[in-house]
Structure 1
């Protein structure tokens, strides 16, 4: 089970981490925030779909076709922890060394999209002030940045783990096929 969790957790972490690096490096100026968000969460769902593969592989190949809700959930949550940690580590390195001005760019894009949507000057000013405070904390506190990044990805993994546990649990031994040919 350990190898299963490590392999699928590692692969699951690389998928959204690679996507985040590609988007920030190459596409951040050409995609809207909503598009980036949808594509980012899509990459997380794709990554966490490996939980289904890992559980089914463990259940069918190593556990005689039997697995409980609790064991399925445990596998899913451990894969979520590993994948999320890889995502956070990659983001912290990417942010620190390659895009230290992420907060300013993000804030500018949010405010530009607000303005383009026809928001009032008061709303834009208020949003800008709130974001400036948050971005300063994000920039100055690595612990806040780590927590914030985990909050992006972990909920997706938890939801997928619960769904997998509900779908893939199997407490009974699969029926064996008996040959009637003599």
Structure 2
């Protein structure tokens, strides 16, 4: 089972990591926020399809075509965990390769969104203070890395849940003889 976790977790991580690094390099670390978020989640879903493949592979080889929900869910979480760690490493690599100051850029974007909402006076000052607080916090890798992990891992939990629910039924994509 460890080989399946490692194999499919690394495949998923490399897929989402390559997408992340490619988009970061293509846009100099500043993709359009809405488009960048949509592309990021789409690449996560595509990459995390390896959770389904890994669970099915384990079910077909080690389980003789049968797997219960909890073992399938646990396997999916393990694959998602490996993929999430690779995603975090890819983000850190992106930050180094792009060389820009993502924390400052994102904080500035937060201020611009507050201004676009029409905030002024004390409300705008509070938004600016919150943006500066985020910027300072994001510069600390011990805080940034768990935040990055939490971007992808919940998607992996959801994919693991759906995959385990579907694949616990041996009639769904039955094992070939």
Q: Do Structure 1 and Structure 2 share a fold, with TM-score over 0.5?
A: yes
| Residue number in structure 2 paired with 1:180 | none
| Residue number in structure 2 paired with 1:45 | 45
TM-score (norm 1): 0.82
The structure that has the greater radius of gyration is 1
Matches within 5 A, 1:28-177: 28-29=29-30, 31=32, 33-96=33-96, 98-115=98-115, 117-122=116-121, 123-139=123-139, 141-170=140-169
Q: What CA distance in whole angstroms lies between the structure 1 residues aligned with 2:22 and 2:170?
A: 42
Structure 1 residue ranges (4+ consecutive) displaced by more than 6 angstroms after TM superposition = none
Q: What CA distance in whole angstroms lies between the structure 1 residues aligned with 2:141 and 2:31?
A: 28
Q: What CA distance in whole angstroms lies between the structure 2 residues aligned with 1:67 and 1:7?
A: 19
SS of match in other structure, 2:81: helix
The answer to whether the Cα contact below 8 Å between 1:68 and 1:171 also exists between their aligned partners in 2 is: no
Structure 1 residue runs without a partner (length 5+) = 176-182
The answer to whether the Cα contact below 8 Å between 1:84 and 1:150 also exists between their aligned partners in 2 is: yes
Q: What CA distance in whole angstroms lies between the structure 2 residues aligned with 1:111 and 1:24?
A: 22
Q: CA offset at residue 42 of structure 1?
A: 1.2
Structure 2 residue runs without a partner (length 5+) = none
Pairing 1:8–2:3 present = no
From the superposition, tell whether residues 38 and 132 of structure 1 become closer, same or farther in structure 2 (CA, over 3 Å).
Answer: same
TM-score (norm 2): 0.84
Q: CA offset at residue 30 of structure 1?
A: 5.4
Q: What CA distance in whole angstroms lies between the structure 2 residues aligned with 1:165 and 1:30?
A: 34
Number of residue equivalences: 171
